[in-house]
Amino acid sequence: MSRGSGKGLSLKDKLDGNELDLSLCDLNEVPVRELAALPKATILDLSCNNLISLPSDFCSLMHLVKLDLSKNRLQQLPLDFGRLVNLQHLDLLNNRLVTLPVSFAQLKNLKWLDLKDNPLDPVLAKVAGDCLDEKQCKQAAVKVLQHMKAIQSEQDRQRQRKLQAEREMEKKREAEQRAKEAQERELRKREKAEEKERRRREYDAQKAAKQEMEKKTKKETVHTRKPASSSRPPQPPRHKPSWSRSVLRVLLFVLFCILCTLAACKLTELQHQPLCVSVNTLYEDVVAALQNHKTLQNMLQHNS
């Protein structure tokens, strides 16, 4: 493999005890897999190469104690660079770093740090100092760690505030939702009560109308049954026909019917009919009986 990738190198040949020197190898990427296979290499020198960035899996090399990345073109470090918790010595001289990842604060064992010749953020540059000797580089490690811990704490506080604000907002939304639901329930309850009251009024109105109609009908019935004299001027009472007059009329009507029957049976061709024969016989018997009475006999004689 080519030197540019670093995969053609025989890392075991460059391993001297626990120190692995990969400086001046014209590397543009780090052979992380091969390095992970050499856990004894706790001291790693990657200086003077063409590294622009470190892969995220570089942070899995947690066995590293001393790391030299000076004189490369690194623009940033991986976000989880703080996983290298055993790192004590870190050289980042002459790169293109502006800031450090917040996880840098987790390098609790870091004792030595060089950040010279990087376009650092002014605040970070002031904290790191010059690192012109051993003492200054050790102070730089302490101060930078404190600075990054302060940034981490502030970010944690911001996250907590943001989380708290989100929780409060969520509670507020839930409270508003509950209030809205309660309001809707109250509205439905009120509408239901109003609808019930409306139906009750309609029922009462219909019942009252029905009762009024029944009263009116009853009143009209009573008025109809009253005699007409209540609304008309009084008239003189009529004399009822007597009982005897009615009987007399009936007798006259019966006598008239008998005479008509006798006339029909005597003067018409019906005299030979059985009914007329019986009627004529009865008539003759009656006449004979009446003739036996003296008074009637004289009357008959006078009439004849």
Is 147 within a domain?
Answer: yes
The last residue of one of the domains, among 113, 138, 153, is 153
pLDDT interval class at 1 (50, 70, 90): very low
Same domain, 18 and 147: yes
Q: Chain-wide mean pLDDT for the chain?
A: 85
How far is C-alpha 226 from the geometric centre of its chain's CA atoms? 68
Strand partners, 67: 44, 90
Indicate yes or no: pTM above 0.95: no
Is 100 within a domain?
Answer: yes
Phi first, then psi, for residue 45 (nearest 5°) are -110, 110
The last residue of one of the domains, among 153, 174, 205, is 153
Same domain, 147 and 20: yes
pLDDT interval class at 293 (50, 70, 90): low
* Residue 85 to residue 59: CA distance in whole angstroms: 10
Q: How many domains does the chain have?
A: 2
* Residue 174 to residue 162: CA distance in whole angstroms: 18
- Highest-scoring range by mean pLDDT, 67-81, 163-177, 215-229: 67-81
Helix (H) or strand (E) holding 32: helix 32-36
Q: Percentage of the chain surpassing pLDDT 70?
A: 85
DSSP code string of 55-97 = -GGGGG-TT-SEEE--SS------TTGGG-TT--EEE--SS--
Q: Mean per-residue pLDDT for 189-203?
A: 90
For position 300, what pLDDT does the model report?
59
Domain span holding position 62: 11-153
Is 203 within a domain?
Answer: no
pLDDT interval class at 297 (50, 70, 90): low
How far is C-alpha 92 from the geometric centre of its chain's CA atoms? 60
- In this predicted structure, the answer to whether residue 2 has a pLDDT above a threshold of 50 is no
Is 258 within a domain?
Answer: no
- In this predicted structure, the answer to whether residue 225 has a pLDDT above a threshold of 70 is no
**Contacting residues for 183 by C-beta, under 8 A, at least 6 apart:** none
Is 4 within a domain?
Answer: no
Q: Which of 5-14, 36-45, 84-93, 128-137 has the lowest mean pLDDT?
A: 5-14
For position 213, what pLDDT does the model report?
86
For position 226, what pLDDT does the model report?
57
The last residue of one of the domains, among 153, 175, 208, is 153
DSSP code string of 142-193 = HHHHHHHHHHHHHHHHHHHHHHHHHHHHHHHHHHHHHHHHHHHHHHHHHHHH
Residue 31, domain CATH: 3.80.10.10
- In this predicted structure, the answer to whether residue 135 has a pLDDT above a threshold of 70 is yes
pLDDT interval class at 212 (50, 70, 90): confident
Check: CB of residue 26 under 8 Å from CB of residue 49.
Answer: yes
From the number of C-beta atoms within 10 Å of its C-beta (0-12, 13-18, 19+), residue 270 rates as: middle
